[in-house]
């Protein structure tokens, strides 16, 4: 069985070699063309359906995280630059559905990378995450947003 990701990387390198430019841009274009070619020929490769489903979920995770990053950055900058401060910081616990160290690591890092939130600790049994939130007027809303947002996106991408 051929690993579709490996084949896509080989196609990207072949594209870059054929164009005569071994640059990051040429490799990216080759990767995109290779992905398109592999998508068209996916019945020939048994594992390609899973590959494209997983790629789609990772792209979704990246785009949604970048959106959250932009929105939270604007919120923090607005609070810092305006004379009235709306921050209401709190430390709160969030029950985790993420299983395993990698899923928990991704969830905690995405939370920490988002301005206004910081992951503090995970309990020994890996079932509860403690975070510090800068705008915690409604802690239940923050829990819901993390559970239905970042945590769910990570679980989907890594399953």
- Beta carbons within 10 angstroms of residue 129's beta carbon: 23
**CA–CA distance, 133 with 115 (Å, rounded to integer):** 9
Residue 51 pLDDT level (bands cut at 50, 70, 90): confident
pLDDT given for residue 159 in this prediction: 83
pLDDT surpasses 80 at 47: no
User: Two tokens at 102?
Assistant: 């990698």
Query: pLDDT tens across 60-88, in order?
Result: 999 999 999 999 999 999 999 988 888 89
**pLDDT at residue 53 is higher than 90:** no
pLDDT in tens, 80-114: 998 888 889 999 999 999 999 999 999 999 999 99
DSSP state of 94: E
Range with lowest mean pLDDT among 23-27, 103-107, 121-125: 23-27
Q: Is the pLDDT of residue 21 over 90?
A: no
Q: Two tokens at 88?
A: 């209401």
- What's the average model confidence in pLDDT over 123-152? 93
CB 61 within 8 Å of CB 153: yes
139, pLDDT greater than 60: yes
pTM score: 0.78
The radius of gyration computed from the CA coordinates of the chain, to the nearest angstrom, equals: 20
Return phi, psi of residue 155, to 5°: -60, -45
Q: Where are the beta strands (DSSP E) in the chain?
A: 90-95, 117-122, 128-133
- Whether residue 92 contacts residue 130, with contact meaning beta carbons closer than 8 Å, is answered with yes
Q: How high is the pLDDT of residue 2?
A: 67
| Domains of the chain (ranges, CATH numbers) | 4-46 (no CATH), 57-158 (3.30.70)
> Which helix (H) or strand (E) element contains residue 106?
helix 100-113
- H/E element, 29: helix 24-40
């Amino acid at each position: 069985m051929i690993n579709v990701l490996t084949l896509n990387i080989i196609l990207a390198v072949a594209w870059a070699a054929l164009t005569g430019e071994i640059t990051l841009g040429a490799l990216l274009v080759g990767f995109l063309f290779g992905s398109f070619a592999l998508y068209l020929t996916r019945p020939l490769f048994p594992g390609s359906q899973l590959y494209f489903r997983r790629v789609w979920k990772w792209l979704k995770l990246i785009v949604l995280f970048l959106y959250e990053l932009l929105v939270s950055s604007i919120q923090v900058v607005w609070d810092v630059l305006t004379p009235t401060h709306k921050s209401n910081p709190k430390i709160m616990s969030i029950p985790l559905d993420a299983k395993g160290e990698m899923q928990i690591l991704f969830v905690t890092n995405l939370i920490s990378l988002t301005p206004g939130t910081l992951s503090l600790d995970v309990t020994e049994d890996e079932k509860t995450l403690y975070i510090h939130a800068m705008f915690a007027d409604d802690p239940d809303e923050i829990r819901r947003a993390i559970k239905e947002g970042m945590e769910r996106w990570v679980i989907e991408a890594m399953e």
